[in-house]
Amino acid sequence: MTGKKAATTSTIIRRAIFILSAAAITSCSSFEPFVGVTSGKNKSYAAPVEALNYTIETVHDGSINGGCIPNTSGVEDNEIGRQRFGGGSTCGAAHLPAKWKLGMTARIYWTDLPYPDWRPKVLNKPGLVFDENEYQTIMQYTENHSAEIPLPPPPVSMGDDFGKVSNITVHFLACNQIFIDYGTMEDESREVVKKQFALFAKSQKLCTPRPSIKSMADYRRNKARLDAIKEERQNIPQVILPEYIQELEQQGKLPVPGK
């Protein structure tokens, strides 16, 4: 192959890779469906994942049904129950079947930094050097969680069709509780948001509240409590979502399966 032909071929390959990469990014960010195998119909969708955090804890390294959950900081202590943080950004897409049905679940993983205002001391050395002992003490309270959660149906106006939703939004409530909605106008109405904060208030009753830890002195005063809370958080079942779906079922608000 001549040098000119080789250069032309190389250019074509690079352009092809760029086009494929751009297509992949576009499909993730604009909620393009996966192509179905049979009859050209969609069997599943790639839904962008967003997160809303109601707690003081920082959530990171999460995923749901294979889709990355954006790292999301918590709210300030004095805003608990009144504010939530996150939304509007995504880092991946979760797999959703084309149609919702009762009993459908999703697998979720996340890492929790429960005391984000507790930071190690900076040593008087060149550069940014932290006290390693303090850092390791803080990191031992990092919590890794996973759960299989039931998926609620889309809003009533959408029936059982996941192809009509905007995204999958993961709500991080208190006590490891997860709530899910789909980023639609109905999900963001004032009435629905009020109900979501009511679910957060309900979730706060499911475990021991965390103390405010901002220094090693706070840690030493509360060490026994921190250890007990860490152990407790390992074994808290999902309550909010199952009860929410059960309530919809009792009220006859679950969608009728479409064709």
Residue 64: pLDDT over 70: yes
Nearest 10 degrees: Cα torsion 166, 168, 62, 114: 110
Q: Tokens for 258? A: 């479409």
pLDDT at 20: 35
Range with top average pLDDT, 6-15, 42-51, 124-133, 191-200: 191-200
For the entire predicted model, the pTM comes to 0.83
- Measured distance CA(89)–CA(176) in Å, rounded: 22
pLDDT at 259: 56
pLDDT at 3: 45
Average pLDDT over every residue of 94-115: 95
Give percent of the chain with pLDDT exceeding 70.
83
Average pLDDT over every residue of 104-124: 95
At 149-188, the pLDDT tens digits run 999 999 988 999 998 898 999 999 999 999 999 998 888 8
Supply the DSSP symbol for 8: H
**Pair type for strands 44-53 and 168-172:** parallel
pLDDT at 258: 65
In this structure, are residues 178 and 172 in contact, taking their beta carbons and an 8 Å threshold? Answer: yes
Q: Tokens for 136? A: 């390791």
At 11-25, the pLDDT tens digits run 443 443 333 333 333
Nearest 10 degrees: Cα torsion 187, 192, 193, 195: -140
At 81-90, the pLDDT tens digits run 999 999 888 8
Would you kindly state where each structural domain of the chain is located, as residue ranges? 31-250
